[in-house]
Amino acid sequence: MTGLLFQVFVYLCAAVVAVPLAKRLGLGSVLGYLIAGIVIGPLLGLVGSETQGIQHIAEFGVVMMLFLVGLELEPRSLWNMRGRLLGLGGLQVAVTIVLVMAASMALGQPWSVSLAIGLVFSLSSTAIVLQTLNEKGLMKSVGGQSGFSVLLFQDIAVIPMLALIPLLALPELAQHASDAVAGAEHHGAEMSLVTGLVGWQIALVNIAAVAAVVAGGHFLTRPLFRYIAAAKLREIFTAAALLLVVSIAFLMTLVGLSPALGTFLAGVVLANSEFRHELESDIEPFKGLLLGLFFITVGAGINFTLLFDNLWFVLGLTVGLILLKAAVLFCLSVLFSMRWADRWLFTLALAQAGEFGFVLLSFTTKNAVIPPQVADLLLLVVALSMLLTPALFILFDRVILPRLDKGQQRPADEITEHGTAIIAGIGRFGQVINRVLKGNGYQTVVLDVSADMIDMFRKFGIQTYYGDASRPDLLNSAGLQEAKLLVVAIDDVDRAVEIVSHARRERPDIHIVARARNREHVYALYKAGANDIVRETFDSAVRASRYSLEAFGVHPHEAEKLVTVYVDHDRDAIRRLARLYDPDLPITENQPYMKLMKEIQAETDAALSSHTPDVHDRVKRAWLPPGSHPDEFD
Amino acid sequence: MKSGQVPAEQGKVVRPDQRILVLFAHPGQRYSRANRDLSKAASGVDNVTLIDLYALYPRFKINIEVEQQRLLDHDVIVFQFPLLWYSVPALLKEWQDLVLEYGFAYGEGGDKLAGKCFTCVVTTGGPEEFYRVGGRNNFPLRDLLAPIEQTASLCGLRFVPPYALFAAHSAAGDDRLPRHVDGYRRLLEALRDDRLDMEAAEQMRLLSAETLPMRRTAQTGVKR
């Protein structure tokens, strides 16, 4: 127990110290995690061989990340990407494999080993690249999108690679390997549904599994989540979200597919679902932590003894690899006629080897394809190239972009898919606002906690998402950072105040329109930072009183002026009373407040009374015959 | 319905039944005896539709379609208002701005009102001698109403000189108001029955209860 706690302490401590520091220095969080890993691993020796085991858990962060990426990507946009996915991705993988293989053969490796090395090095790091692109907000740029297409293709390409590698086995290593496999089987073989099946059967099982994920995601998740949402237990929803990701990953591993690919597909299927934002914000923290852990283990796993023994050789290989991959990427970016900024981003972002390289390397040694001593060196190259990636991003940010900016105008930022208005609560109040905004062509993202309500609105074709808007993370995933307007239209008095104060903290410049229950609520919302506060029943009560006056025969224009006087007095009263309002004291016990309220009531009554002999009274002032006195007419 | 020839020898009045629309605009009706009495008189005349614009649109949200249809449904259009700052009350100006649309009242295809009759029924605070060159208000009332006259002209409306009551506030105290109100009733009836002597009227600067030029029988040729 103490051992475990110590481990957790060391990892968390390293992350908490190193990551904010790295971000402050402008290095990005990924480099922060990597450095933290180096410090606690090779440098201080606080963690050791167990990093391998932890890395397997941490790789789950990559799986979750792809799930989240899928959630952001509707099936239609995935289909639109197909050209870049196959063209860019396919060419990148194929050309890199061939060139790396050639280089390796030139260095004297046999062809089969060279091909395996080509496979390992053709992959880039999804984890580092996506994390960094998201952090820098470059995901939507053409360079970012192209990079993402290539990464996605690589994740798919891992599957045939895993099938190909055993065929490359070296006879002289086979004996050693079978010993290792025998050793591994002692620990209990991995569960699998496809052992002992021939090729076409495996293919059938694979297709069935993917179909199950797509169909299940489409038909089963909604009723399931609606059922869970009805229970109104937040942690159970989180548990269900985790269960979804874990079960898909499990199914994919069972049939020998990439778990990252499976969850990505599930994400795409759920991208249109009303639970999208809720799922996003539930998975997000787990993904962040696991991914961080993954980067730390990469840093901690670097074998410094081996590195220093072969320092120049390994460095040379690493730099050579990066140059080669960058050259391939650059040619592709020219071929696909990207702009200069996108070209450099695409080239530098994907020039490293990736975490799947670790997986492939351990697989190759197990299958007697690459001799272990070579594999150890290659492991160092992969880790070092990943370590250098943040430096390449810094190069892009600090050196390349400023120069390009001088020469050419940067293309305008693409409009994000997030709405320009977030409406929290789609009850009777929020509905009207949503219809008026949508009717006039403004984008809205609607959040509500009632699954029934959402269901109904979806039937009317109104995009509504399930989620408690008072959760900061959910508000963020609904696009708080980009939105122009937040409308808080929920029933719950306290939560409305929470939402307003959170949004105001995050976005000092956003405009907030809030629905208030009563005067006290107005005061609280004002203090929380709402711009426009609307008492939910005030305006309708004013209208009702206007009709009542008209029913007594008051001329409608006169009635309008009378209620306007009342509204003005009331607004003024609220402003004056707000200064005396004390949130810790019930209003009836707040003596100064009660006193002022009575005074104001008397003032309002006097102003409304038609017997005030004041020519400049607000009502009578509107129009008077010259030289007359209002009293004459009463 | 078309106003036809009325055989004089029958000796009784056959109504050509011109339909009259009175658009009444007054933002402070509870202070106005004159306009209240005038409205009451107007609403008592057959074939007159009296619209209190400030009652119908207290928040100035004018329904353009309804207002245009109302114009199409009548043959004579009357603006009844107190002169405020030498012009119509704000809502009546808003009404003109919105309802007299291009393509409806003027411009290409804007002949929907052409041939109808138009007049103003105006009350003023100041006495008649103020409305003279060199007087306190420097302009004759008819000159001050030139924008409305030209508006009518652009819309192809036949402009009948304004029916005016000066010093309306003091008129309520003497017998000028009842006489003016009665004249208003007679004016509306004459317009309805097509008995106003248009040629004679058009020679006058203003109309008053004492100077209404009437014919015994209906005219011909007044277009709908």
| CB contact at 8 A, A104 and A114 | yes
**Long-range contacts, stretch B6-15, CB < 8 angstroms, 24+ apart:** B6/B217, B6/B218, B8/B217, B13/B193, B13/B217, B13/B218, B14/B218, B15/B47, B15/B192, B15/B193
- For strands A511-516 and A532-535, give the pairing: parallel
Nearest to B114 by CA among B104, B125, B126: B104
- Give pLDDT tens digits for A544-568: 999 999 999 888 988 898 888 888 8
Asked if A110 is an interface residue toward chain B (Cβ–Cβ < 8 A), one would say: no
Asked if B87 is an interface residue toward chain A (Cβ–Cβ < 8 A), one would say: no
Which of chain A's residues have a Cβ under 8 Å away from the Cβ of B82? Answer: 625
Asked if A621 is an interface residue toward chain B (Cβ–Cβ < 8 A), one would say: no
DSSP A127-179: HHHHHHHHHHT-TTSHHHHHHHHHHHHHHHHHHHHHHHGGGG--HHHHHHHHH
Q: Does residue A574 carry a pLDDT above 90?
A: no
Q: Per mean pLDDT, which range of A14-23, A179-188, A546-555, A620-629 is the poorest?
A: A179-188
Residue of chain B nearest A620, judged by CA positions = B28
Exposure b/e, A370-380, CB count within 10 A at least 16 = b:
bbeebbebbbb
| CB contact at 8 A, B159 and B118 | yes
What angle is formed at CA A385 by the lines to CA A384 and CA A388, rounded to 5 degrees? 85
Local mean pLDDT, 10-residue blocks, chain B (224 residues): 43 68 92 90 94 94 94 96 94 96 92 94 93 93 96 95 92 87 95 91 92 76 44
Nearest to B118 by CA among B55, B85, B71: B71
The per-type count for chain B, helices as H runs and strands as E runs, is 9, 6
| CB contact at 8 A, A325 and A121 | yes
CA A359 to chain centre: 26
Per-residue pLDDT, A634: 42
The Cα-based distances of A595 to A225, A585, A589, B100 in angstroms read: 52, 15, 11, 54
Per-residue pLDDT, A417: 44
Instruction: Assign 3-class secondary structure to A166-187.
Output: HHHCCHHHHHHHHHHHHHHHHC
Scan residues 9-48 of B and list those with Cβ closer than 8 Å to A: 27-32
Q: Nearest Cβ partner of B125 from A556, A560, A625?
A: A625
Contacts of A229 (CB under 8 A, 6+ apart): A237, A275, A449, A451, A466
Per-residue pLDDT, A180: 47
| CB contact at 8 A, B96 and B49 | no
Specify which residues B51 forms β-bridges with: B23
Q: Does residue A631 carry a pLDDT above 70?
A: no
- Indicate yes or no: CB of A560 within 8 angstroms of CB of B59: yes
Tabulate helix, strand, coil % of chain B (nearest 5): 35, 15, 45
Per-residue pLDDT, A623: 61
Which of chain A's residues have a Cβ under 8 Å away from the Cβ of B125? Answer: 625-627
Task: Return the percentage of chain A with pLDDT > 90, whole number.
Answer: 13
- For strands B48-52 and A532-535, give the pairing: unpaired
Q: Does residue A189 carry a pLDDT above 50?
A: no
Residues A436-451 have a mean pLDDT of: 83
Per-residue pLDDT, A209: 86
Largest CA distance in chain B: 53
The dihedral over CA atoms of A49, A28, A415, A348, expressed in degrees to the nearest 10, equals -80
- Indicate yes or no: CB of B31 within 8 angstroms of CB of A627: no
The first and second tokens of residue B77, run together, are 């259009």
Least Cα separation, residue B55 to chain A (angstroms): 5
Task: Return the percentage of chain A with pLDDT > 70, whole number.
Answer: 87
- Indicate yes or no: CB of A559 within 8 angstroms of CB of B58: yes
Asked if B84 is an interface residue toward chain A (Cβ–Cβ < 8 A), one would say: yes
Nearest to B158 by CA among B219, B208, B215: B219
- Give pLDDT tens digits for A520-548: 899 989 888 999 999 999 999 999 999 99
* Chain A to chain B Cβ contacts (< 8 Å): 46
Q: Per mean pLDDT, which range of A222-226, A257-261, A397-401, B11-15 is the poorest?
A: B11-15
| CB contact at 8 A, A287 and A69 | no
Which of chain B's residues have a Cβ under 8 Å away from the Cβ of A553? Answer: none
CA–CA distance, B69 with A274 (Å, rounded to integer): 47
- Indicate yes or no: CB of B169 within 8 angstroms of CB of A627: yes
CA–CA distance, A528 with A501 (Å, rounded to integer): 5
**Could you tell me which residue, A517 or A617, shows the higher pLDDT?**
A517
Mean pLDDT of chain A: 81
This prediction has a pTM of: 0.59
Residues A158-167 have a mean pLDDT of: 78
Q: Nearest Cβ partner of A558 from B30, B89, B125?
A: B30
Using pLDDT thresholds of 50, 70 and 90, give the confidence band for residue A51.
Answer: low
Using pLDDT thresholds of 50, 70 and 90, give the confidence band for residue A629.
Answer: low
Per-residue pLDDT, B72: 95
Per-residue pLDDT, A418: 46
Q: What three-state secondary structure class fits A486? A: strand
Q: Nearest Cβ partner of A622 from B28, B56, B59?
A: B28
Per-residue pLDDT, A48: 66
What is the spatial order of strands in the sheet that A485-488 belongs to?
A464-466, A444-448, A421-424, A485-488, A511-516, A532-535
Q: Which residue has the tokens 């992959």?
A: A123
Which of chain A's residues have a Cβ under 8 Å away from the Cβ of B29? Answer: 555, 557-558
- For strands B158-159 and B20-24, give the pairing: unpaired
Q: Does residue A278 carry a pLDDT above 70?
A: yes
